[in-house]
A and B are shown apart, each in its own frame.
Chain A
Amino acid sequence: MSFILSILIFFPLVAAPAAYAVTKLNKRFGIYLSLGLAVAELAVATYVAWRVYATPPGIGSYLLVQSVPWISVGSFTVNYLVGVDGLSTPLLFVSALLTVFVVFGSRKLIDHHEAEYYSLIFLFEGAIMGVFASLDLILFYVFWEVVLIPMFFFIAVWGGPRRKYAALKFIIFTFAGSTVMLLGFLYFYLGMAHYVSPSFDIPTIQAALQAHEIPVSLEYAPLLASFIGFAVKLPLFPFHTWLPDAHVEAPAPISVLLAGVLLKMGGYGFLRISIGLFPTASADFAWVFVALALISMFYGAIAAVLQKDMKKLIAFTSINHMGFVLFGAFASLLIADPAVAYLGIEGAIFMMFAHALAVGCLFMLSGYIHHQAGTREIPSLKGLGTTMPRTAVVLVLASAAAMGLPPFASFLAEFMVIVAGISASAVTIVSVLVPIITAGYFLWMIKRTVLSKPEGTVEVHDMAWSDVAMFAAYLAPLVVLLVASYLILGPALPVAEFLRGLA
């Protein structure tokens, strides 16, 4: 029994009212306090990450588990059950890290209703921690839905001109997706009751799966239902239409959370729930998932080429990159040789971590550029290289990280996923084209904005050195991870072995 994960989940929920009250009284001090609270939360997350790295949980087991009875009526029981492994820990850590950056970056970009804003950031953070730490399906669903509420308000209150439309579209799409997911959970739970004593408890269900106590025929319907919930979040083509709207309208720091954290819920769900609970059905349909992932990757990449708004371009990159996560996860189910198969799942986990930082950095940067230059339209941004040299350097580096160029770890993640894909089937070699297109539109964007001649008389200001430090902090972990990839891949290996072994 350990309380550390509960601290991780509930500390931000307690921090939220504190941030609200203090910011209401004194804006400046409130923002510093919020930053302090976010750093404290990061310290807890770092401790959790260190624990998981130092003693990675074995195959199919979880660390720092805490279980408290919550609800019981008849045979229907729900427990507050939390625990972590090599899949959830990188996401918990990166969520805490991005929250620090978001609070730091928001001080310049958010200029009204600050008290509400910072308290909602913490509400969001607590709920996200809950999503990644939950090991009970109902608890997972509760946190999953709580995430929507602050995000709705972020877009609706602090968003751009079409914020109202985007916020409603966001909440209706994602709520519809997740209710279908819940229905799948209920179906699975009740179906299970004919064979074993039913449970929402993920480790218990997995034990029953390994003992072949739950018939495979029960897995298909909930796989489809949860697929819809996760595909909306990921987002997978054609469930993605809410994403460009939400990203364009959301303020830049919120886009960081949206792309860096919220989309990961989809990838996490596919690994933890789809493959983790419905492994045989997932393996049977792995081809469908791989094909959908490929379509999504190409769609995201090609759509990104056509975008004029820098933020929309980055939004479509996310669709492209999250496609890689799905691609790697399900390709590994198709590979006979386990050692290669693990690459797919490990690559997917690595990809989620790397994408969170690289795209988070780009979104924050687009907010800065918009703030300083007054526009995000790529054709109107000219000569950033001369007018805003520091911004230009960060833009080039962040684009390199997103493209998957060394020395950034995103390179390794993409490489692992593509190797796994090709091992699954030579047909998927077409996936190699995706990083090429990605590199193409990023380089074209850089050519048009950074390398062009400055024009116009608009007065622009470069970013402060403190902001340069923040952007460096986004990208530094990616460089470190290229060298020390075992920090993530070490604990991720038992997860890959376990998930692959279930199928």
Chain B
Amino acid sequence: MLTASIVILGAGALLLPLLQVVKRGQQQLAGYILAAILAVSFLLIGLFTMSPTAVPWADGLLSPDQLGGVFALVMLGVTLAVTVASFDFIKTSSNPVYYSLLGFTALGMVLLAYSDDLLMLFVAWELMSLPTYALAGFDKKARSNEAAVKYAIIGAMSSAILLYAISLTYGLTGSTQIPMIVSYFAIPAHQTALAGVAVLLFIAGFGFKMSIVPFHMWIPDAYEGAPSTVSTLLASATKKAGFVAAIRVLLVLATVYALTKSPIFSLANVFAALALVTMTVGNISALTQKSMTRLLAYSSIAQAGYILIGFVPFAANPTSAAAALGMTGAILHVINHAILKGAAFLAAGLVFLQLKRTDLGAYNGLARRMPITAITLTLSFLGLAGVPPLNGFWSKLLLFLSVANGPFWWLAVAGIVNSAFSLGYYGWVIKRMYADDPDSPGRVHEPFWFVVVFAVLVGLIIGIGLFPQQAISFASGAANSIIHG
């Protein structure tokens, strides 16, 4: 089933541009086809995750486990939401190419989620990234182009760093297969300083995609310049690719490997410091933003910091109960953040589409002009702040609980202070939407496909919030697939 979904994704992405030659004028057709393909792949991978079967050609290249399943499903789900929302958003003539690029990105993300070999991982990484450089500049406007160029340069740099890390690892171990690498480094004599350099390079390379501080500079510019649907994809899907790669490479390595002999520079401490800096910088920067997209970009950086918290107990002691809780929380927060940020970015995208503005002033009195968008944005903001009973609360609870008692208790304090702080800027926007007067009154049209996507996402935000057990079990299964090999 995994094979089938990869084949149809690849075939679809390859064949979609042909539509431009064959059927001019039927522009939406490509979108409908891609949506159907993504939906089928989503179902197939869902079935595969529930009852995994052997993948004959994946020996050593892919690890078809539940961790990959969770991430593949999240990424496909976000891509599907982006595709459906694009029906109303992208009205330019080169439609089929746009959808084809989305398809290639989806394929890259699915492969990446399952990658268990560094070369496979790198190929998937590039397959995922290259189309997004083009997508970011799809508007062909000056700002969009600037964003695309900036994003492409940073992306190329992170790929180069990653490639360097991979070659160092291969030079040291003689293998690109992650399990082999891990067993090589399990021998203390092999834990050289050069290996430490490779690990740090991996952190930097993945860090660009994960949007952790200090590798976050490109995020606000790229998100702001790119078409809103593409920003949604970058924030909710490709960013998660960084996390799955980090889990597969770095955390697995952490089970056997200490970064240095010195206890201060342990991998757990590195993650803890990155988590603290990332969430704090993200939240403080978000508070001062005047543009919605930039606010969301910084909030997205802050959320990456929360997810990193879950890595810390695992890196400190992979077999502890706290590690299982932390990984479950991190994976659940990946799922929740994809839903919440997807909803927020699409809502912001719709506001831009209809009002042609991204500044926060455009949100004054939005509840009267676009009530469905306003309520979607409100719920996603409350969820991002971690207000119960919405889905973001549970993942944050698990994340903070995993570190609350132990050497990293200060991360829980920092996380909670950050959450309270973040409600300041989220609440500010909600206040604008519901209490301020709009510049011009009158209802604004809210297109059908956007409303459908909003309804599904809001349903998930509240549904997972009220009945989190299924989602938690799913995330916990994925966490166990890493913890118990």
Interface string of B322-343 (1 = CB under 8 A from A): 0011001000000000000000
CB within 8 Å of B: which A124-179 residues: 138, 141-142, 145-146, 148-149, 152-153, 156-157, 159, 163-164, 167-168, 171-172, 175-176, 179
- Verify A73–B398 contact, CB threshold 8 A: yes
Assuming the A-B contacts A146-B388, A164-B435, are A172 and B420 also in contact, with contact meaning beta carbons closer than 8 angstroms in the complex? yes
- Verify A145–B388 contact, CB threshold 8 A: yes
Q: Which of B124-132, B197-205, B465-473 contacts A (4 or more CB under 8 A)?
A: B465-473
- Verify B400–A191 contact, CB threshold 8 A: no
| Residues in B whose Cβ lies below 8 Å from that of A180 | 416, 420
| Residues in B whose Cβ lies below 8 Å from that of A75 | 321
Shortest Cβ gap from B418 to chain A (Å): 10
- Verify A183–B416 contact, CB threshold 8 A: yes
Assuming the A-B contacts A179-B420, A187-B405, A193-B405, are A76 and B436 also in contact, with contact meaning beta carbons closer than 8 angstroms in the complex? no
- Verify A164–B388 contact, CB threshold 8 A: no
Question: Within 8 Å of chain B (Cβ to Cβ): is A74?
Answer: yes
B420 contact from A159, A176, A187, Cβ within 8 A:
A176
Assuming the A-B contacts A149-B387, A193-B405, are A183 and B413 also in contact, with contact meaning beta carbons closer than 8 angstroms in the complex? yes
Interface string of B446-485 (1 = CB under 8 A from A): 0000000000000000000000110011001000000000
Question: Within 8 Å of chain B (Cβ to Cβ): is A182?
Answer: yes
- Verify B436–A164 contact, CB threshold 8 A: yes
Report how many A-B pairs have Cβ atoms within 8 Å: 93
Question: Within 8 Å of chain B (Cβ to Cβ): is A190?
Answer: yes
| Residues in A whose Cβ lies below 8 Å from that of B370 | none
- Verify B401–A190 contact, CB threshold 8 A: yes
Question: Within 8 Å of chain A (Cβ to Cβ): is B431?
Answer: yes
Question: Within 8 Å of chain B (Cβ to Cβ): is A186?
Answer: yes
Question: Within 8 Å of chain A (Cβ to Cβ): is B42?
Answer: no
A71 contact from B382, B394, B412, B430, Cβ within 8 A:
B394
Shortest Cβ gap from B469 to chain A (Å): 5
- Verify A187–B404 contact, CB threshold 8 A: yes
In the complex formed, the residue of A with least CB distance to B389 is A142
Question: Within 8 Å of chain A (Cβ to Cβ): is B423?
Answer: yes
| Residues in B whose Cβ lies below 8 Å from that of A71 | 394, 468-469, 472
In the complex formed, the residue of A with least CB distance to B413 is A183
Question: Within 8 Å of chain A (Cβ to Cβ): is B170?
Answer: no
C-alpha gap A146/B473 in the complex (Å)? 25
- Verify B413–A168 contact, CB threshold 8 A: no
Question: Within 8 Å of chain A (Cβ to Cβ): is B427?
Answer: yes
C-alpha gap A157/B434 in the complex (Å)? 6
| Residues in B whose Cβ lies below 8 Å from that of A190 | 401, 404-405
Assuming the A-B contacts A145-B387, A164-B431, are A74 and B321 also in contact, with contact meaning beta carbons closer than 8 angstroms in the complex? yes
- Verify A182–B328 contact, CB threshold 8 A: no
Question: Within 8 Å of chain A (Cβ to Cβ): is B424?
Answer: yes
Question: Within 8 Å of chain B (Cβ to Cβ): is A70?
Answer: yes
C-alpha gap A73/B479 in the complex (Å)? 11
* Main secondary structure on B side of the interface with A: helix
CB within 8 Å of A: which B404-440 residues: 404-405, 409, 412-413, 416-417, 419-420, 423-424, 427-428, 430-431, 434-436
A183 contact from B324, B400, B472, Cβ within 8 A:
B400
* Number of B residues, CB within 8 Å of A: 38
C-alpha gap A71/B469 in the complex (Å)? 5
Question: Within 8 Å of chain B (Cβ to Cβ): is A26?
Answer: no
* Number of A residues, CB within 8 Å of B: 37
- Verify B435–A172 contact, CB threshold 8 A: no
| Residues in B whose Cβ lies below 8 Å from that of A55 | none
Interface string of A56-86 (1 = CB under 8 A from B): 0000000000000011111110000000000
C-alpha gap A167/B430 in the complex (Å)? 11
C-alpha gap A331/B385 in the complex (Å)? 38
Question: Within 8 Å of chain A (Cβ to Cβ): is B397?
Answer: yes
In the complex formed, the residue of B with least CB distance to A156 is B435
- Verify A73–B321 contact, CB threshold 8 A: no
Shortest Cβ gap from B240 to chain A (Å): 21
CB within 8 Å of B: which A291-336 residues: none
Assuming the A-B contacts A76-B325, A183-B416, are A168 and B428 also in contact, with contact meaning beta carbons closer than 8 angstroms in the complex? yes
- Verify B419–A156 contact, CB threshold 8 A: no
In the complex formed, the residue of B with least CB distance to A191 is B405
Shortest Cβ gap from B421 to chain A (Å): 8
C-alpha gap A190/B472 in the complex (Å)? 19
| Residues in B whose Cβ lies below 8 Å from that of A146 | 388-389
A182 contact from B382, B416, B423, Cβ within 8 A:
B416
In the complex formed, the residue of A with least CB distance to B386 is A179
C-alpha gap A71/B467 in the complex (Å)? 8
Question: Within 8 Å of chain A (Cβ to Cβ): is B393?
Answer: yes
C-alpha gap A152/B398 in the complex (Å)? 27
| Residues in A whose Cβ lies below 8 Å from that of B416 | 179-180, 182-183
A73 contact from B328, B382, B434, Cβ within 8 A:
B328
C-alpha gap A187/B424 in the complex (Å)? 25
Shortest Cβ gap from A131 to chain B (Å): 12
Shortest Cβ gap from B320 to chain A (Å): 11
Shortest Cβ gap from B447 to chain A (Å): 23
A175 contact from B401, B409, B413, B423, Cβ within 8 A:
B423
A171 contact from B401, B412, B427, B473, Cβ within 8 A:
B427
Shortest Cβ gap from A263 to chain B (Å): 21
C-alpha gap A71/B473 in the complex (Å)? 9
- Verify A186–B435 contact, CB threshold 8 A: no
C-alpha gap A142/B404 in the complex (Å)? 19
A74 contact from B324, B409, B413, B468, Cβ within 8 A:
B324
- Verify A168–B431 contact, CB threshold 8 A: yes
- Verify B405–A168 contact, CB threshold 8 A: no
- Verify B473–A73 contact, CB threshold 8 A: yes
- Verify A156–B434 contact, CB threshold 8 A: yes
6 closest Cβ contacts across the A-B interface?
Answer: A190-B405, A142-B388, A156-B435, A176-B420, A186-B404, A179-B420
**B residues whose Cβ falls under 8 Å from a Cβ of A:** 321, 324-325, 328, 382, 385, 387-389, 393-394, 397-398, 400-401, 404-405, 409, 412-413, 416-417, 419-420, 423-424, 427-428, 430-431, 434-436, 468-469, 472-473, 476
Q: Would you give 7 A-B contacts (Cβ < 8 Å), ordered by A?
A: A73-B328, A157-B435, A164-B436, A168-B427, A179-B417, A187-B409, A190-B404
Given contacts A172-B424, A187-B409, 14 further A-B contacts (CB under 8 A): A74-B321, A74-B328, A76-B325, A142-B388, A167-B435, A168-B424, A168-B428, A172-B423, A175-B387, A179-B417, A180-B420, A183-B400, A183-B416, A186-B404
